[in-house]
Structure 1
């Protein structure tokens, strides 16, 4: 048996990489100790969430709409700006947007994986896999090398909800996997919020039904912050902005938009920024009504 918190694998540079944290360790999160099926051990790249800081889980549809992506990014960005730890699952869609929103603001975020922490899944989130440990961590109850099996993802959802003080659902179909997280959250006595959507929209059925059943209605990040008695800064990013309210990176990205749809990779190349940076700014512009996503990863100026 390895000792508590012992490094069991190193990266190519020889730096500390994967750690195993056992239940008997003082580093083991207190929020997990009340679980009926408390993980015997956790495998971690980076750090673990702090017990003395508020945390919110943001979950939702993988195949979400531009509205859902923008809302996930918005809530994570503003909550993280106020010091809230953001928990999600690094899946495509809402999860990825939540992590990016937190990271964009220099906030802290953790991804609970349904596979070994040495495996990046899905591969399209390679940038998050690399960036999250710098501001938080990757967590799994499964040992390194465990592939992403479908049966493991519902089980990991109980850890996502347990690590959070409240769970926010952003877009969910009638049988969305994110509703499994809600079930665990309710069993654990957590507060559940849902972002309302359009009546009749398949992506909004889950959230609207949660609200009808008594979940809190998420109308703004500020309302969620009131759960902890937190007053957000007027300018949470603290960035220098121009007369249009855009940060410098945003200036470059926005200047590359036109009335003709343009792909994210093309916008990033023209702006001289990474696709992740361009994607973050574009989501912000969509939220502000300055841009529109006409198809997946294609944007126009409004």
Structure 2
């Protein structure tokens, strides 16, 4: 049996015994070569004999290192992957080429990543579903309880204003306006918590209403919607709406921008949401909880979220969603 066949025969052995086998084969070959060669060693080693010994040792070490490298190189790839793997960017895998112990380790690692990504996606989906249910409950309570309370106060203030004297009337009217403003704020919060327009009128109208809500913040929003987009399921539509909502909120709070481009377009069989502002840009700042939440939502529906910032400022949040035609 040749050297390569001997090593190949041991690929099913544990890693420790594979290393021992490789070393044993190399040393055996070196011993056989020395035994069959005419070279001899004197009591006092001559220079020529020392050169032969050094040359033979170099061949043995080189051959041994090459064989070990071929067997253990996947371990280096595995270590590098373990150091940089990020479950928010799924699909990272190590190529599987070996059927031995190292190959089995690589295969097990890839299978573990698949399980982790699946479990993470399922747990995030459950968490976000619970979050949406809680948003719905809070919005309902705001509308039914707080909203009705404000409405009752307004009706009472109207009766007071009808009977108030001229010197008290301005103060009553001021309280009326403050109460009416408070009621409108409650309604806006309820709409942001539960996008009823998304269920009633569809994604395009929901995005239009959402952008209109940010007009009082001084943002000039230009909308671009491509007609005839591939149909998205309810979960995907909700993800698009929530990511657009979070992106616009970040622009209004942090970007120091006055212009935003909101678009929902088609790229091949994918649907692409883009929110691009002319603000100060990311400036190397770490991602906060809001961006992390957007990434989690994108992963749930198999989407990809990218954040880019231009050299002179401005930030683009870009969500790419696959549809049935692209899967």
TM-score (norm 2): 0.21
RCO higher in structure (CA 8 A, sep ≥6)? 1
TM-score (norm 1): 0.23
Q: Pick the structure with more strand per residue.
A: 1
- From the CA coordinates, give the structure whose radius of gyration is larger: 2
